[in-house]
Structure 1
Amino acid sequence: MNIYEQQQKNKRLTVILIIVFVLFFIIIGLGFDYFYLNLYPAYINENGDEVMRRFVPYGTIFCLILSLILVINAFSNGIKSIIKATGAIPPNPDDIKEKQFIDVVEEMSIAAGIPKPAAYIVPDSDLNAFATGFSPEKSYIFATRGLVDNLNREELQAVVAHEMSHIRFYDIRLLTVTTVLMNAIALISDMIWRSSRSRGYSSSSKSSSSKSKNSGGVIIFFIWIILLILAPIISRILAMAISRQREYLADAGAAELTRNPKALISALEKIRSAVEPTKMVKDGVANMCIADPRGSLIEEKTGFIADLFATHPPMEKRILALKLMAYEKQRDTGK
């Protein structure tokens, strides 16, 4: 699959994720409307007569509008929220290491054939980096202070090239939208779950006679609640799966850009040796980083459950894949 095909695939995935996100909120709204109509099917008018309510999907309309606002906010303020959350600042050109980072970002953007991304330094002693944005024209590369301090120039080039690959392939748009929407689903699900526990359940159990009349409604209620519980888990699993797939491709893209897979191997080994978590990078943006910010001990866990919730493939597998590339390059060129 060439770069253009990768870009188109990621653009399609982004659209699909947004559609699924909006549908999730519509289901939430329909649930509210359904339960409100069942709990309060009639009202007393001004003449004292009992009048059956007409179904007007106020909750659905509200949730639809809310989902669209959140999508728009993801595109307009998603980057700002990431910069604020990490405490990132522009690199200081008077600092030797940070100046080297600026130069490497410019060099790799020329090699990748894309506009120069905005560069930021995250004030953290751990070794990590990530890219974000919505297009090559509006992209950002972040590196921790520990990364720029501890990598040599070739290793730094390899890491920046890895992030450039995410930008070239439009991974940044996919991962940024995935991250923002995943966090929104988790937040909304938690709010509704807490609300349903304190209000919905007690309301639905006001009278045993109303339960017996609408046992189907009780079943639908529990299905709706289960959906709310599972939604953030499923969205996280999907986000992690997307991230794992993109990391292998970005590693290969970095090796292609630098023609030096050994440099990325060396960089990943240094990153792996830093077992402390990246404190300034929260779990919400873990899938964007070159290595799991929770620490290398998390990343090295294997097994079905560990693989399911891992933001990255095991570092050992990534290094092995790069060693195979280095071997093939040496075999083909004799160098």
Structure 2
Amino acid sequence: MMDRDELEGVISHEISHIKNYDIRISTIAVALVGVIGVIATALIFFGKVVLFSSDDDRDSRAAGLVFGLGMMLVGFLFNIIAVPLAMLMQAFVSRHREILADVSGVELTRNPQGLIRAFKKLQVYEGGGHPKRTTSILAKSPAAELCLVTPVGFHHLFDSHPPLEERIQRLEHKI
């Protein structure tokens, strides 16, 4: 599908991911999202344990009820607010690492046209400008069926790669 210069641009982009330690950074970002999710789950679980622990003393039972409900509420808030925010940050880091790999790849080959042409071919081949491997929280969410349309302004919020058009323009301006 690609000629020698285009293939060289793509390979240099991927080598730049290795050179820039992108796997390490992505792993840390994923781990942070996981830790936040575990904290939220633990808060909900321990809130349930405290809430449903039986005690004969009426005052301690009331305190357990308040404390258990409070822990569960904080856990639910973590799930509702902190986890999506962490996922947003992970997607943001991923998009910026892709841009860095584009620029570093061009520095390796000293031929921006190869990568630009490769992106243009991908854009035509995939028909839209977003790589198929981009992820969207709305597309993967169990609640995706509840959404008739993607909320305005959030369509590509969780994408792991910037749009190809944006990447092409950025490389063309570097020439």
Sort the TM-score into its range (normalised by shorter chain). Answer: 0.5 to 0.7
Bigger proportion of residues as helix: 2
For 1:274 and 1:194, the matched residues in 2 are separated by: 46
Structure 1 residue 242 corresponds to structure 2 residue 82:
no
Aligned with 1:309: secondary structure? coil
Q: Output the amino acid matched with 1:309.
A: F
* Contact 1:189 1:229 (8 Å CA) reproduced: no
How far the C-alpha of 1:307 sits from its partner, in A, is 4.5
For 1:270 and 1:206, the matched residues in 2 are separated by: 68
TM-score (norm 2): 0.67
How far the C-alpha of 1:249 sits from its partner, in A, is 1.7
| Equivalences for residues 68-147 of structure 1 within 5 A | none
| Equivalences for residues 243-322 of structure 1 within 5 A | 243-275=94-126, 291-294=131-134, 304-322=153-171
For 1:316 and 1:210, the matched residues in 2 are separated by: 63
For 1:224 and 1:184, the matched residues in 2 are separated by: 14
Please, which moves more after superposition, 249-258 or 211-220? 211-220
Q: Which has the higher contact order (CA 8 A, sep 6+)?
A: 2
Instruction: Show structure 1 runs of 5+ residues with no match.
Output: 1-149, 277-289, 327-335
* Cα pair distance change 1:153/1:196, threshold 3 Å: farther
Structure 1 consecutive aligned stretches of length 4 or more whose deviation exceeds 6 Å: 204-207
For 2:99 and 2:122, the matched residues in 1 are separated by: 16
Q: Cα RMSD over matched residues?
A: 3.8
For 2:23 and 2:40, the matched residues in 1 are separated by: 27
For 1:178 and 1:292, the matched residues in 2 are separated by: 21
For 1:238 and 1:204, the matched residues in 2 are separated by: 37
2:62 to 198, 207, 213: 213
Bigger proportion of residues as strand: 1
| Higher Cα radius of gyration | 1
For 2:126 and 2:32, the matched residues in 1 are separated by: 27
Instruction: Show structure 2 runs of 5+ residues with no match.
Output: 140-149
* Cα pair distance change 1:264/1:200, threshold 3 Å: same
Aligned with 2:133: secondary structure? coil
For 1:275 and 1:186, the matched residues in 2 are separated by: 34
How far the C-alpha of 1:254 sits from its partner, in A, is 1.4
Structure 1 residue 225 corresponds to structure 2 residue 76:
yes
* Cα pair distance change 1:271/1:182, threshold 3 Å: farther
* Contact 2:40 2:76 (8 Å CA) reproduced: no
| Equivalences for residues 170-209 of structure 1 within 5 A | 170-179=21-30, 181=31, 184-185=34-35, 188=38, 200=49, 203=52
Aligned residues: percent identity? 28
